[in-house]
Amino acid sequence: MELERMAPREEWPDETEENDEKPEETPTNTCCDRFHQTISNWMLPSDLRDSYLERANCLPPPIFIILISIAELSVFIYYAVWKPQKQWITLGTGIMNSPLTYRYDKREEAWRFLSYMFVHAGVQHIIGNLFLQLLIGIPLELVHKGHRVGLVYLAGVIGGSLASSIFDPRKNLVGASGGVYALIGGYFMNVIVNFGSMVPLFGIFRILLIVLIVGTDVGFALYRRYIVHDTELQVSFVAHFAGAMAGMSIGYTVFTCFDKNLIKDPRFWICIAAYVAFLIFAALFNIFFFSAY
């Protein structure tokens, strides 16, 4: 009687089907994955994030920004220790005679138009620049790699010194603000153009953060220029402005070509042509017309 109450074999559950219905194991969401997710949210519009996350890794690491920051900090420490300062707010001793400092009376030494980025006027100056370039440069380099970030950074540095030599011709120059502002300018334009796809509230926060940072830094530059009168080296706001312009043109073009061949983008060549034309004009000005000022 017990056998009659058993269900037919056809109705028995299929063990194979049960095994097939087991959920697949999902990969673990590691700290590295969450870090890259955050980077993609800050640096890219929504339609490019998945493409970045598919190939995101820390190899190569953001080596350009890290090395340039170490070099700038090393030069600062060298001049601070080599000629001990009574205070480190302003390093007046030593850096005026540095072969790296841009000096208007030695502008024939062309390397100074680039090397001045390694020399800083004091603790506040070096900390401000290092903080900004690490905060913005590391995420940018993780997304766009070092050769692109380096191109934008150096374009801002050279553009800053050349613009200063034209519009502020009797002032010496130190600091990496031109390169830092190039990175800020490129990122700022990216946020503005892709505002709708970067979560509007989040986009507003980023814009306000950039305005706050830039306003504070420019305010410090104006303070050193017009209020502090006991220093030979004043931070040039012209270099800030020129660096930002380089970032808003070349930087914006480079940073919007995340998944594209930069060489095939006509916007890139237009920006490069305009930048080269500025370099030629600035070089001719410094060679032939500076003595008239």
CA–CA dist 92, 79 (Å, integer):
10
What's the pLDDT at 276?
93
Q: Is residue 96 a part of any domain in this protein? A: yes
What is the C-alpha separation between 290 and 103, in angstroms, rounded?
Answer: 13
- Give the tens place of pLDDT for each residue, 244-261: 999 999 988 888 877 778
Is residue 282 domain-resident? yes
Let me know if residue 23 belongs to a domain.
no
Contact 191, 211 (CB under 8 A): no
Encode burial over 239-267: b for 16+ CB neighbours within 10 A, e otherwise.
bbbbbbbbbbbbbbbbbbbbeeebeeeee
Residue 223's domain comprises 61-292
pLDDT for 230 equals: 46
pTM above 0.85, yes or no: no
Contact 101, 173 (CB under 8 A): yes
Q: Is residue 231 assigned to a domain?
A: yes
Pick the closest to residue 187 from 146, 240, 133, 147 (CA basis): 133
Query: Is 230 within the bounds of a domain?
Result: yes
**Is residue 102 classed as helix, strand or coil in its secondary structure?**
strand
Q: What is the pLDDT of residue 170?
A: 81
Q: Which residues of the chain have pLDDT under 70?
A: 1-29, 58, 83-94, 196-203, 220-221, 224-225, 228-236, 290-293
- Exposure string (b/e) for 155-182, b if CB count within 10 Å is 16 or more? bbbbbbbbbbbbebbebbbbbbbbbbbb
Asked whether residue 53 is assigned to any structural domain, the reply reads: no
Residue type at position 263: I
Residue 35 lies in a domain: no
Q: Are 165 and 282 in contact (CB under 8 A)?
A: yes
Cis upstream peptide for 200 (omega within 30°): no
Give the dihedral sign, CA 102/177/150/57.
positive
Number of domains comprising the chain: 1
- How far is residue 262's CA from residue 245's CA, in Å, rounded to a whole number? 19
Instruction: Provide the greatest CA pair distance for the chain.
Output: 119
Q: What's the CATH number where 208 sits?
A: 1.20.1540.10
User: What's the chain's average pLDDT?
Assistant: 79
Does residue 288 fall inside a structural domain? yes
Catalytic sites, residue numbers: 177, 240
The pLDDT tens digits for 170-181 are 888 888 989 999
